[in-house]
Structure 1
Amino acid sequence: MLYVKEGIVFRKVPCHVFFNYYYYLDSAPPSFTATPPQYVEAKEGGSTLLGCSAQGNPKPMISWLREGEELASNSKYSVHDGSLTILGITRDDRGAYTCRAYSDQGEVLHTTRLLVQGPPYIVSPPENVTVNISQNARFNCKAEAYPGNLTYTWFWEEDNVFFKNDLKLRVRIFVDGTLKIFQVKPEDAGKYTCSPSNSLGISPSASAYLTVQYPARVINMPPVIYVPRKLPGIIRCPVDANPPVTSVKWEKDGYTLRVEKYPGWSLMPDGSIRVAEATEDSLGTYTCVPYNALGTMGMSPPATLVLKDPPYFNVRPGGEYRQEAGRELVIPCAASGDPDIPTITWRKVGKPSRSKHNILPSGSLQFLSLSKEDHGEWECVATNVVTSITASTRILVIGTSPHAPGNIHVLPSTTTANVSWEPGYDGGFEQTFSVWSKRTDFGPHDWHSMPVSGAQTWLVVPGLEPGTEYQFSVLAQNKLGTGPFSEVVTVTTAGSPLGTAEPLVLLTPPRCLTANRTQHGVLLTWLPPANHSSPIDRYIMEFRLGEKWEVLDDLIPSTETELVARDLVQESWYEFRVIAVMDDLISESSNVVGVSSTGQGSYTAMLCPL
Structure 2
Amino acid sequence: EKWHKTEVQACVSVRSLFASSACAAGTRKKSLLFSIIYYCFCFSIYCLPLYSSAPPTFTDTPPQYVEAKEGGSITLTCMAFGNPKPSVSWLREGNLMVSSAKYKLSDGSLTVLSITRQDRGAYTCRAFSLQGEAIHTTRLLVQGPPFIISPPENITVNISQDAFFTCQAEAYPRNLTYTWFWEQDNVFFKNDLKRRVSILIDGSLIIAQVKPEDAGKYTCVPSNSLGQPPSASAYLTVQYPARVVNMPSVIYVAIGLPGFIRCPVDANPSVTLVKWKKDGLFLRIDKFPGWSQMDDGSIRVAEVTEDSLGTYSCMPYNALGSMGWSPPAPLVLKDPPKFSVVPGGEYRQEVGRELVIPCEAEGDPFPNITWRKVGKPSRSKHNVLPRGSLQLKSLTKEDHGEWECVATNVATSITASTHVQVIGTSPHAPTNVHAVASSTWANVSWEAGYSGGFQQTFSVWIKRERLGPHDWLSTAVPGGQNWKLVSGLEPETTYQFSVLAQNKLGTGPFSEVVTVNTLVFPTSSPEPLVLLTPPRCLTANRTQQGVLLTWIPPANHSAPIQHYVMEFRLGERWEILDDSIPPVDTMFRAVCQLAQITWLMWYETPNASFGRTTVQLSLVF
Q: Do both share a fold (TM > 0.5)? A: yes
Aligned mates of 2:486, 2:99 — CA distance in 1: 68
Aligned residue among 320, 324, 331 for 2:346? 320
SS in 1 for 2:478: strand
Given the alignment of the two structures, is residue 55 of structure 1 paired with residue 81 of structure 2, yes or no?
A: yes
Aligned mates of 2:172, 2:251 — CA distance in 1: 63
Contact 1:115/1:146 (CA < 8 Å) preserved in 2?
yes
Contact 1:7/1:56 (CA < 8 Å) preserved in 2?
no
2:165 corresponds to which letter in structure 1?
F
2:59 corresponds to which letter in structure 1?
T
Partner of 2:416: 391
| Superposition map of 1:66-465 within 5 A | 66-339=92-365, 341-400=366-425, 427=452, 431=455, 445=473, 447-451=475-479
Higher mean alpha-carbon deviation, 218-227 vs 416-425, is at: 416-425
SS in 2 for 1:36: coil
Partner of 1:29: 55
Change over 3 Å in CA distance of 1:264–1:60 after alignment to 2: same
Whose Rg is larger? 2
Contact 2:6/2:52 (CA < 8 Å) preserved in 1?
no
Deviation of 1:322 (Å): 2.8
| Superposition map of 1:562-581 within 5 A | none
Q: How many residues align?
A: 473
Partner of 2:593: none
Specify every segment of 5 or more residues in structure 1 that has no aligned partner in the other structure, as ranges. 11-17, 499-610
Change over 3 Å in CA distance of 1:96–1:437 after alignment to 2: closer
Contact 2:7/2:50 (CA < 8 Å) preserved in 1?
no
Aligned mates of 1:463, 1:137 — CA distance in 2: 59
After superposition, give the CA deviation of every residue in 1:501-558 in whole Å (9 maximum; x if it has no partner): xxxxxxxxxxxxxxxxxxxxxxxxxxxxxxxxxxxxxxxxxxxxxxxxxxxxxxxxxx
Aligned mates of 2:458, 2:104 — CA distance in 1: 68
SS in 1 for 2:188: helix
Partner of 1:64: 90
SS in 2 for 1:88: coil
Change over 3 Å in CA distance of 1:47–1:286 after alignment to 2: same
Change over 3 Å in CA distance of 1:252–1:108 after alignment to 2: same
Change over 3 Å in CA distance of 1:90–1:333 after alignment to 2: same
Change over 3 Å in CA distance of 1:96–1:244 after alignment to 2: same
Deviation of 1:418 (Å): 12
SS in 2 for 1:269: coil
Partner of 2:577: none
Deviation of 1:438 (Å): 10
2:115 corresponds to which letter in structure 1?
I
Change over 3 Å in CA distance of 1:70–1:401 after alignment to 2: closer
TM-score normalised by L of structure 1: 0.68
Aligned mates of 2:445, 2:268 — CA distance in 1: 51
Deviation of 1:4 (Å): 11
Contact 2:163/2:210 (CA < 8 Å) preserved in 1?
yes
Deviation of 1:237 (Å): 0.3
Contact 2:63/2:138 (CA < 8 Å) preserved in 1?
yes
Aligned mates of 1:49, 1:421 — CA distance in 2: 66
Change over 3 Å in CA distance of 1:115–1:4 after alignment to 2: farther
TM-score normalised by L of structure 2: 0.66
Deviation of 1:276 (Å): 1.0
Aligned mates of 2:127, 2:517 — CA distance in 1: 77
Change over 3 Å in CA distance of 1:273–1:101 after alignment to 2: same
1:69 corresponds to which letter in structure 2?
N
Aligned mates of 2:446, 2:58 — CA distance in 1: 91
SS in 1 for 2:194: helix
Contact 1:35/1:53 (CA < 8 Å) preserved in 2?
yes
Change over 3 Å in CA distance of 1:44–1:243 after alignment to 2: same
Contact 1:376/1:396 (CA < 8 Å) preserved in 2?
yes
2:371 corresponds to which letter in structure 1?
W
Specify every segment of 5 or more residues in structure 2 that has no aligned partner in the other structure, as ranges. 11-20, 22-41, 43-47, 466-470, 525-621
Aligned mates of 2:452, 2:506 — CA distance in 1: 10
Deviation of 1:288 (Å): 0.7
Change over 3 Å in CA distance of 1:314–1:43 after alignment to 2: same
SS in 2 for 1:451: coil
Aligned mates of 1:180, 1:292 — CA distance in 2: 27
Aligned mates of 1:333, 1:378 — CA distance in 2: 12
2:158 corresponds to which letter in structure 1?
N
Aligned mates of 1:298, 1:475 — CA distance in 2: 59
2:227 corresponds to which letter in structure 1?
G
Aligned mates of 2:87, 2:517 — CA distance in 1: 76
| Superposition map of 1:3-14 within 5 A | none
| Superposition map of 1:460-499 within 5 A | none
After superposition, give the CA deviation of every residue in 1:465-516 in whole Å (9 maximum; x if it has no partner): 9xx99999999887767777888999999x99x9xxxxxxxxxxxxxxxxxx
Deviation of 1:370 (Å): 1.6
2:405 corresponds to which letter in structure 1?
C
Contact 1:48/1:86 (CA < 8 Å) preserved in 2?
yes
1:119 corresponds to which letter in structure 2?
P
Contact 2:448/2:482 (CA < 8 Å) preserved in 1?
no
Aligned mates of 1:205, 1:485 — CA distance in 2: 38
SS in 1 for 2:248: coil
2:257 corresponds to which letter in structure 1?
L
What is the RMSD computed on CA atoms of the aligned residues?
4.3
Contact 2:459/2:501 (CA < 8 Å) preserved in 1?
no
Contact 1:434/1:474 (CA < 8 Å) preserved in 2?
no
Aligned mates of 1:451, 1:479 — CA distance in 2: 15
Contact 2:462/2:472 (CA < 8 Å) preserved in 1?
no
